[in-house]
Structure 1
Amino acid sequence: MSAVFNFTFVPWFRSVAPYIHKFRHQTFVVGIGGEAIAAGKLQALVQDLALVHSMGVKIVLVHGFRPQVNEQLLAKGHTPQHYKGHRITDPVALDCAQEAAGQLRYEIEAAFSQGLPNTPMAGSKVRVISGNFITARPMGILDGVDFQHTGKVRKVDTEGIRHALEMESIVLLSPFGYSPTGEAFNLAMEEVASSIAIALKADKLLYVCEVPGIAQNPTQPVSDDNPIATEITLADARRIFAQAPEAEVPTDTGFYLKYCIKACEGGVERSHIIPYSTDGSFLLEIYVHDGIGTMVVDERLEEVRQATADDVGGILQLIEPFENDGTLVKRSRTEIERDIANYTIVDHDGVIFGCAALYPYFEKSTGEMAAVTVSPHSQGQGDGEKLLKRIEQRARLMGLKSIFVLTTRTMHWFIKRGFETVDPDWLPQARKEKYNWSRKSKVLVKYL
């Protein structure tokens, strides 16, 4: 084994360890689009799910079957019918859906049962349990369109699912629900997964699908100049969804985002959109800090939020000691009230423990991270990192390419987090004109 491998593997494995500890005994609901299975990604996805399950994560897996149902319908000379993103399930479509679900469940169970030596599944012994855990109701008639056997989730049998999970089994569900009268209804995989996640109070909802995530500029295609936003707040997700065209096909911006928003509003801490096209994307999203797809998080859970006028007094109280000792430049109440929308705060039970402001300079595609403050009572607990991450996120959403800080005492903290020192002449002209040369602040920049 080469020394190079040793020196790369060991630090990587150590860096993953905190996530392994954190996620043990947590519950993940995973929705896999039928498109991923049709693209031949099932074996790799199952191997990754089995690996995560072996590290103590409880997994509920919901599979989709859109392309498989369409294929069967076309083979029978029947045209697939949809309205506003929902399948119209007539009797022929219902038969095709049941056939497709049976075939896919067989393939998924078989994949979890493999255990050949020298493969990732060797010795895995994964038990898979399926069942009638979803009670459904008919979607009915919408705009004069009768959806027939298409349904909506009415109730989730959380007790039954939890019992299966406590037996260290993976729970596998097809997007079907059953009425008290015994009727079967075709459901949307995305709705089933989000409803289960909410009902179980799951720690994560993850969609492994055909889209790479939400672009930093959602109106434009993903590219090197418009990469994926790795994390967006629930508030930003709502804004993006409101501005997106009506989501009718899975590649539309709002299609999966709608269900991520629903899950976060229902109490699920994190919802993810992950591309199946990248090998190992499920593992990369979970065990790598920045992930590979888009995570929607309710910022209230992080206790990090955009400041409001009601927070001005708390911000003044927080920064006053640092202004008095010269760490921060003095700011008046009037100035903070005027710029309050620029501020992000860390709020613990109504008390502000940290703040930072972002002032954009669009002419140079950069922004100043200013008034960075963490209370002495919470220093060393990660609040500074939370503020930096949120400021970076806000900067990316503004289309900025970098952020910079001016500091006299905390240079090393920023350097450790990816900033580099530049000459004050680097500053945007408008900011250079306000630079205090007698203070001799160091200028550090981080490229996003």
Structure 2
Amino acid sequence: MATNEVDTLSAQDAPEFAPAQFVRWFREVAPYVHDFRGKTFVVAFGGELVNDGVLNTLIQDISLLSALGVKLVLVHGSRPQVNEQLQLKGYATRFGRGTEPTSAEALECAKEAAGEIRLDIEASFSQGLPNTPMSHAHIRVISGNFVTARPVGIIDGVDYKHTGAVRKLDVNALNAVMNQGAIVLLSPLGFSPTGEAFNLAMEDLATSAAVALRAEKLIFLTQDRTVHDEDGSVDTELAREDADALLAAGTLDEDTASFLSHASRAVKRGVARAHLIPYNLDGSVLLEIFTHDGVGTMVVEDTLDDLRSATVDDVGAIVQLIEPLEADGTLVPRGRAVIERDVEQFTVLEHDGVIYGCVAINPYLGEGMAEMACLIVHPEWQGSGEGEILLRHAESRARALGARRLFVLTTRTSHWFIKRGFAQGGVSDLPKERQAHYNRSRNSLVFIKRL
């Protein structure tokens, strides 16, 4: 987990090279590579990243993503650079995190800062020194007038002048660029149909781009503005509702609240995942994308307002889901009384009053394990990722209970679990209490996943 005390690490700090570990890691990464090829990622960062000297390292990792077939849009900010320009020219205006008026003089400073950063980014992508990550890389970066903006206008009597908001993006042009293998670079400036330029907020521009492009991921690289648990560790996954509750509580600092608010808005409007990642950790983008837990905070919509803990009133619906699978031998018969007794272990998926999926978690915390059982999605609802939603919820719940490993017993669906990171084990790998109740006549296979 990344904290504020994490310094950027170099390759020289890495442990001694272990071939077997490298091969295992490379194989574990393969499913992510297949999943993300052809998908669109919007990666956004503020001018602070440039000032802190992290740009070249980031560009190397972005180049790797491009080589793996990810379609990329980079959105950069320039707030500290604009403030530097304003100070050098003797203006008192300074931009903070919120929306503020942009004078004609400040707009000129914004243009200068954006142009300077754009050139730095293009230069970084043009590297090609041997024995570096950019060796043999031929990556085109294309920027242009993709963003149509409108003036913020007058709010509560305050004229925001040249401060703008995104009106629309030229999605067809953006996709055409990415389909040719190039990376799109968006600066925090937009243009009106009359040719006026407007100063845009990087966070708003990135969110608008991710929504318009139906991006798989919106990634904010921050000065460790991740969300932390009470023990100080990074909260690696937040349902959007939980993110909104945190924002409503008003306990977050201004920067974290701003990034989290935009992440929540993006997910609410259809972006699959939004991430807050610290840029002071070398390779943080790769670690977030290609490892199970990541190093930042990911906001998801997976609860869909439908995922909730089961109650006694749900027992009948759970029985209806389970009975067909008990009848064909997929599940061991439980009976209504057992489900009533264990109903607190169940989570259900509900839509418009209809329960169409469920999963149960039975903890064995003395041995750091938990069992996942009764993962069921009604046949009419299958095929849209509901099983994945239940699995991720089960993993999160088991992890929250303190389990380090999650296991399942199955007779029919072994391939489904193998594809999702479970490895086959044996009866002897089960908790002692569970071994005592193992039904040898069913000869169920045991699959285990490290959390």
Structure 1 and Structure 2 fold alike (TM over 0.5): yes
Instruction: Tell me the CA shift for residue 50 of structure 1.
Output: 0.6
**Counterpart code for 2:308:** Q
**Equivalent residue of 2:18, what SS?**
helix
In the alignment, the residues of structure 1 paired with residue 350 and residue 22 of structure 2 have an alpha-carbon distance, to the nearest angstrom, of 35
1:260 aligns with 2:263: yes
- Judged with a 3 Å threshold, the aligned counterparts in structure 2 of structure 1 residues 148 and 394 are, in CA distance, closer, same or farther, namely farther
Instruction: Tell me the CA shift for residue 327 of structure 1.
Output: 4.5
- Judged with a 3 Å threshold, the aligned counterparts in structure 2 of structure 1 residues 369 and 145 are, in CA distance, closer, same or farther, namely farther
Flag structure 2 segments of 5+ consecutive residues without an equivalent: 1-14, 440-447
In the alignment, the residues of structure 1 paired with residue 332 and residue 52 of structure 2 have an alpha-carbon distance, to the nearest angstrom, of 56
- Judged with a 3 Å threshold, the aligned counterparts in structure 2 of structure 1 residues 4 and 67 are, in CA distance, closer, same or farther, namely closer
1:352 aligns with 2:356: yes
In structure 2, the residue matched to 1:231 is 237
In structure 1, the residue matched to 2:135 is 122
Correspondence list, 1:319-334, <5 A? 319-320=322-323, 327=332, 330-332=335-337
In the alignment, the residues of structure 2 paired with residue 416 and residue 226 of structure 1 have an alpha-carbon distance, to the nearest angstrom, of 34
- Judged with a 3 Å threshold, the aligned counterparts in structure 2 of structure 1 residues 156 and 440 are, in CA distance, closer, same or farther, namely closer
Kept in 2, the 8 Å contact 1:194–1:263? The answer is yes
Instruction: Tell me the CA shift for residue 208 of structure 1.
Output: 1.2
Give the alignment partner of residue 189 of structure 2, picking from 176, 180, 184: 176
In the alignment, the residues of structure 2 paired with residue 360 and residue 242 of structure 1 have an alpha-carbon distance, to the nearest angstrom, of 36
**Equivalent residue of 2:35, what SS?**
helix
In the alignment, the residues of structure 1 paired with residue 153 and residue 364 of structure 2 have an alpha-carbon distance, to the nearest angstrom, of 49
- Judged with a 3 Å threshold, the aligned counterparts in structure 2 of structure 1 residues 337 and 392 are, in CA distance, closer, same or farther, namely closer
**Equivalent residue of 2:65, what SS?**
helix
**Counterpart code for 1:22:** D
In structure 1, the residue matched to 2:209 is 196
In the alignment, the residues of structure 2 paired with residue 70 and residue 387 of structure 1 have an alpha-carbon distance, to the nearest angstrom, of 47
Correspondence list, 1:17-416, <5 A? 17-81=30-94, 85-215=98-228, 217=229, 225-245=231-251, 249-250=254-255, 252=256, 254-299=257-302, 305-306=307-308, 312-320=315-323, 327=332, 330-332=335-337, 335=340, 339=344, 343-345=347-349, 352-356=356-360, 372-374=374-376, 387-394=390-397, 400-402=401-403
Kept in 2, the 8 Å contact 1:256–1:273? The answer is yes
**Equivalent residue of 1:86, what SS?**
coil
Q: Once the two structures are superposed, what CA deviation does each residue of 1:113-158 show, in whole Å capped at 9, x if it has no partner?
A: 1111111111111111000111111112333333221111111111
In the alignment, the residues of structure 2 paired with residue 81 and residue 360 of structure 1 have an alpha-carbon distance, to the nearest angstrom, of 56
In the alignment, the residues of structure 1 paired with residue 199 and residue 19 of structure 2 have an alpha-carbon distance, to the nearest angstrom, of 50
**Equivalent residue of 2:130, what SS?**
coil
- Judged with a 3 Å threshold, the aligned counterparts in structure 2 of structure 1 residues 337 and 423 are, in CA distance, closer, same or farther, namely closer
In the alignment, the residues of structure 1 paired with residue 109 and residue 188 of structure 2 have an alpha-carbon distance, to the nearest angstrom, of 13
Report the TM-score when normalising by structure 2. 0.76
- Judged with a 3 Å threshold, the aligned counterparts in structure 2 of structure 1 residues 4 and 176 are, in CA distance, closer, same or farther, namely closer
In the alignment, the residues of structure 1 paired with residue 332 and residue 406 of structure 2 have an alpha-carbon distance, to the nearest angstrom, of 13
Across the two proteins, how many residue pairs are aligned to each other? 413
**Counterpart code for 1:274:** I
Instruction: Tell me the CA shift for residue 26 of structure 1.
Output: 1.1
In structure 2, the residue matched to 1:433 is none
**Counterpart code for 2:307:** R
**Counterpart code for 1:269:** A
In the alignment, the residues of structure 1 paired with residue 80 and residue 360 of structure 2 have an alpha-carbon distance, to the nearest angstrom, of 47
- Judged with a 3 Å threshold, the aligned counterparts in structure 2 of structure 1 residues 3 and 180 are, in CA distance, closer, same or farther, namely closer
Q: Once the two structures are superposed, what CA deviation does each residue of 1:254-297 show, in whole Å capped at 9, x if it has no partner?
A: 21111111111221111111110110011111111221112212
Kept in 2, the 8 Å contact 1:94–1:186? The answer is yes
Kept in 1, the 8 Å contact 2:310–2:348? The answer is no
In the alignment, the residues of structure 2 paired with residue 118 and residue 104 of structure 1 have an alpha-carbon distance, to the nearest angstrom, of 26
In the alignment, the residues of structure 1 paired with residue 361 and residue 430 of structure 2 have an alpha-carbon distance, to the nearest angstrom, of 20
Flag structure 1 segments of 5+ consecutive residues without an equivalent: 425-435
CA RMSD of aligned residues (A): 4.3
Kept in 2, the 8 Å contact 1:318–1:373? The answer is no
- Judged with a 3 Å threshold, the aligned counterparts in structure 2 of structure 1 residues 124 and 351 are, in CA distance, closer, same or farther, namely farther
In the alignment, the residues of structure 2 paired with residue 105 and residue 359 of structure 1 have an alpha-carbon distance, to the nearest angstrom, of 52
Q: Once the two structures are superposed, what CA deviation does each residue of 1:82-114 show, in whole Å capped at 9, x if it has no partner?
A: 577223312222121111101000000000011
Instruction: Tell me the CA shift for residue 423 of structure 1.
Output: 6.7
Instruction: Tell me the CA shift for residue 352 of structure 1.
Output: 3.2
Instruction: Tell me the CA shift for residue 401 of structure 1.
Output: 3.8
In the alignment, the residues of structure 2 paired with residue 385 and residue 171 of structure 1 have an alpha-carbon distance, to the nearest angstrom, of 31
**Counterpart code for 2:259:** Y
**Equivalent residue of 1:299, what SS?**
coil
Deviates more, 1:88-97 or 1:37-46: 88-97
Instruction: Tell me the CA shift for residue 55 of structure 1.
Output: 1.2
In the alignment, the residues of structure 1 paired with residue 139 and residue 407 of structure 2 have an alpha-carbon distance, to the nearest angstrom, of 54
Kept in 1, the 8 Å contact 2:377–2:386? The answer is no
Deviates more, 1:32-41 or 1:107-116: 32-41
**Counterpart code for 1:133:** F
**Equivalent residue of 1:256, what SS?**
helix
- Judged with a 3 Å threshold, the aligned counterparts in structure 2 of structure 1 residues 115 and 385 are, in CA distance, closer, same or farther, namely same
Instruction: Tell me the CA shift for residue 408 of structure 1.
Output: 9.3
Q: Once the two structures are superposed, what CA deviation does each residue of 1:26-60 show, in whole Å capped at 9, x if it has no partner?
A: 11111122111111100000011011101111101
**Equivalent residue of 1:87, what SS?**
coil
- Judged with a 3 Å threshold, the aligned counterparts in structure 2 of structure 1 residues 415 and 29 are, in CA distance, closer, same or farther, namely closer
Deviates more, 1:118-127 or 1:10-19: 10-19
**Counterpart code for 1:95:** E
